[in-house]
Structure formats: structure tokens, C-alpha cells
Structure 1
């Protein structure tokens, strides 16, 4: 059986407790979701931490299910740092303590990446640009302090430009960057997840030695597909961003989906309220669906799916495990 790693699963999302838009639709089925993924060959799952509270929840979930997680503050959650009852410094101290406890003697060492961190100028109603930029350097330095690979978020071209600048200002210069003199010891690497950028961005990220995570959102438009073709296989990682980023009929990648008879699909009900035990829900991605993403990426690139699966597995192992 093929080995898959899903580097982005939001398993703390209420959908896996049967709650959609604040309404209870069915019984919690997280146990079944994880079991389906493992039976599909998904041997690695990285639960995303998007805030201090969710990083705590992700860590407890990783311990419970023998998985791994990130710890960090998503750019759209950076406003929460300032709202901490004891102030921003206390928020950072608690995040550091969470990581230290996990890495320390007797710790589980489940936190294997610093993230989700980065910039998002598309959703400034959640956190203003100034707030994101103010807290990003300190978050980047946590990656350096704990020597944890970065799990990065960048949604717009402007976000990309400022993220690269912030990384360089924080001293994150890849040893692959010619003439920097930076050594391997200083570079922990990272991945820009849920990538939706341009071919120019691909080149800059790859030249920096970063990996690129692909999911359904990375495969929406014809331009996206042309960009995906430019990403070297030794820089690709696969993800679902479950429960988000499903491939719909309006996506340019829809014709590249494998036939419905393929074993990579899981059974789904059309509506959440019609959920039955042992089935998924239409539109709700699960980590088992990383096999579908692998098929689409392979078809878009015109290569065997085994090549994509093996490359992504090796890339993920090198960065995180």
C-alpha cells in the first residue's frame, strides 16, 4: 500500500464533532475519520495549530491519536495575541511553555513544526496588516529558538513579498541561497502550505529551499494548474487542509479527478444531517482524501501517481520527521 503524509489537517474543527455553522448535524466521528485515513495508507498526519488555544487542543489530540501537530498563531488570529488578559508577552510565554513542555524530559515531542504563521492580506477584518506584521518576527524567531521547521501561510502576492522580507530580516536565510554563507546548522526549513501563488513565487520559494504544500485550493484555476507544473517534485508536499479545500465542479482540476470507481474515494452522504456511521460528508475533506490530491497532482503533471506519492513522502520525512 502507498504511504501518504497529510501535512495539514484541521482536526480541531467542529465539523469533526458533527457541528456545521454552529448547528449539530450528526454524532462526532473523528475516530472514524482518523481510522479511514490510516486504512487508506495515511501514516503521517500533522494537526494544525492556529492560535494558542487551538495549539493546546492540537497537542492533546496528537497525543490521543498518536499523531503530530504544529504550534503557532495564524496571521488572522494575531489580533488574539493583543487580547490576552496579561498582554502579548504573556501569550508568547504560554506558547513557548507549551513547546518546551512537549520537547522537555518526559515530553511527547508531538509538536514538530512552528505554525501556522505568516501573512494574510485577504482577511484583514480578522487581523489588520499592522498587527500581523508586528507579531510575525517574534513568531519566526520561535522557529529558530526551538529549531522547528516553519509551517507558513501566505495568501496574496503582497503577503508573499512581505513574508519573504520578514523571514530574511529574522535571519532565516537558506543555505541554498548563493553567496549568503549561511550554514546548514542555522536552517530548519519550512513549507508554504495551501499554496495558491504564482510561478514567480514558486521560483523564489524553491530557491530559498522551502517546500510547497498542495491541496484542493491550490488547484482551482487554470493558472494554478500551470503553476503546479513548475514545482519540482522534490519540493512538493501533499495536504487536504481538512475539512476545507475540497475540489468542486467549478475547479479547473475537476477533470483531473480519478474515476468515481477508484479506491481512493471514501463513501459520502450528500448532506451532513443524513450522515451515517462509516461515511464521510460531501464537501468536508478528510485526511484520507490526500490520496485524491496525489492523483490530481500526478495527472496535472503527466506523471505516474507513484512518483508524486514517493516524492511527497520523502520530502515530508526530510522536513518534519
Structure 2
């Protein structure tokens, strides 16, 4: 089986052994990536959450033969107004990063616009007005560059605003699609996004409550994507989905940060290899074979993010 992890924060300091600004152990990124390869994770999409992070993950994508997103997370949108040259300069630099990579002679590692969207759960980082102000321009980068959207949709009111603005900017069949990543909304919200032609990304944060579990059951298989959001969003014993995790499944053997051992993972830090854990849980929740879920999610990933590489996949129209 092959697995694709569509959300990896490879630029996070945890992979360099840093937690809350403190060095707890040596960086072990090469070992993390090797564990992912051994687990069958052949595709990783690295998440750009700001102009700076988009630059960082692009370099990692080039170095390790992955791909990345470029955008500005809703909780980071205050940096657009604080940019030395203002909003136009910020967008100018972001567009230059994308166009240089996508243009002639570029590495063509940036394959999605994101992370962009709305988050009303963490307004202390960016007021609602700031998020709403910049969202249309961020969304329109998808159509400008012909790249699918990597969306953040957190909070019922944020969902309503996101859907409204997507429609206002003209999102439709002539756009390259997208995914609502780390989805935590309701069944009705999920169906609304699917009806718009979007995919739904599931990780540990999508599996906390019984309502989350019910949503996972209802996602059409041809709209399902899997992710870790590493190093975040691990599945824990408090999650309603935990009972669906096979008791003998150990994808990454882990120790505490202060007892770090070369070749082992770290407790409390999610890894891209653990998308296999998400696949097992989702398959159990849905009552479907692991191979069926893993294959469908991988094929969906290829259709959305790697359409030029799709070969011998059953046609699955977006609209």
C-alpha cells in the first residue's frame, strides 16, 4: 500500500528538537522521513502557513523531493498589514515566490495555495475583520496560478463566511478544486463543501468527538483525503475514535523528549509515518478494508494535487 500525507508542517521546530523555544534533543528530521518511507508514505505535502513558512517548506520540498503549499494561514493574516511594504508588497512577494517556482526553470514544487481560510476559534491571533479582509485575494491566487486550494475552516460562523466568500470570488468548475483540511465541522457542513467540489482532509483533530466519527462515516470515499498535520494532531486516548485503533499497531516507537534515542520517535510529536494510523482508524470507523480506504485516499490525492501524473486511475469528476 501507498499512503499520502497531505498536511505536514516540516518546518516546525519540533523536528529540530526544539519545544517551546528550548532545545530538548538533537534534530532528527532525516530519521523522521526515513520512518515515513518505511511506512509506505510516498507523498508528502508540506504546509506553508505564512510568507516565511512558505519559503521554508519550499526549500524542504526541493531538498527531500516533496511538494508544498504557499499561502497565509488565517491566524497569520495580521502579518500582511504589518509587512514593511504593506498589503500589496506582501502579496507581491508571495506571488513572486509561486511564479518563480512554477515558471520556466523553477522546481515546480509548489502545487497548492494554502493554508488559507478562516479561523474564529483563535481570534486572539488575528481579528475576524483582518481574516475576512485578506481572504478573497488569497483565494484568487488559486485561479491565477491554476493550483488547488488548501483550506482552513474552523468554527461554524467561519464556515458560513468561507462558503459565502468562495462563492463571491467565483469558485466553481473552472477552478482547480481544493481540500478543507483538518476538517472538524458537521455532516451538513461537510456535504456543503463536497457539493462545491471540495475534498475533505481527515487527521487526529478530525477524530476527537463522536460527532467527528459520524462525519468520517458520511464522507464520500471519492472525496476523502488523509493527513497527520504533523507534528500536531496526534490521536490520543481521550478521542472518541481511539477505540478504532488496533491495539497492536505501532507505526513509530516513541520515548519522552528528555530520553531521546536515535532512531525512535518522540512522545507528543506526530510524524508523517502516522498517516498510517489515521488510515487504520478511518477504515475501522467506516467498516471498510484498510486497503480500500488507503487506495482511494491516495488516488484522490493524486487527482487533486498531481493531475499531470495520474495514470490508469478511474475517472472521478470533481463537479
Instruction: Name the TM-score class by shorter chain.
Output: over 0.9
Q: Deviations 1:127-154 (Å, cap 9, x if unpaired)?
A: 0000000000000111110011000001
CA distance in 2, matches of 1:222, 1:44: 29
Structure 1 gaps of 5+ residues are 176-185
Equivalent position to 1:266, from 252, 255, 273: 252
SS in 2 for 1:43: strand
Deviation at 1:266, TM superposition (A): 1.2
* 1:293 matched residue in structure 2: 278
Give the match for residue 309 of structure 1: 294
Q: Secondary structure at the match of 1:229?
A: helix
- 1:240 maps to 228
The corresponding residue for 1:195 is 183
Q: Could you report, residue by residue, the CA deviation over 1:175-210 in whole angstroms, capped at 9, with x for unpaired residues? A: 3xxxxxxxxxx1200000000000101110111110
Match of 1:224 in 2: 212
* Residues 1:135 and 2:134 are matched in the alignment: yes
1:204 equivalent in structure 2: 192
Q: Give unmatched runs, 5+ long, in structure 2.
A: 307-319
Structure 1 residue ranges (4+ consecutive) displaced by more than 4 angstroms after TM superposition: none
In the aligned structure 2, how far is the partner of 1:11 from the partner of 1:210? 25
* Cα contact 2:142–2:175 (8 A) shared by 1: no
Distance 1:203 1:142 in 2: 25
Q: Deviations over 1:81-125 (max 9, x none)?
A: 001011111000000000011011110000000000000000000
Q: What is the aligned length?
A: 306
Aligned-residue Cα RMSD (Å) equals: 0.7
TM-score under structure 2 normalisation? 0.95
Question: What does residue 4 of structure 1 align with?
Answer: 3
Distance apart, 1:320 and its partner CA: 0.2
Q: Distance in 1 between matches of 2:175 and 2:127?
A: 30
2:69 counterpart SS class = strand
TM-score (norm 1): 0.94
Partners of 2:300 and 2:276 in 1: CA distance: 16
Match in the other structure for 1:109: 108
Are the equivalent residues in 1 in contact too, given 2:112–2:305 (CA < 8 A)?
yes
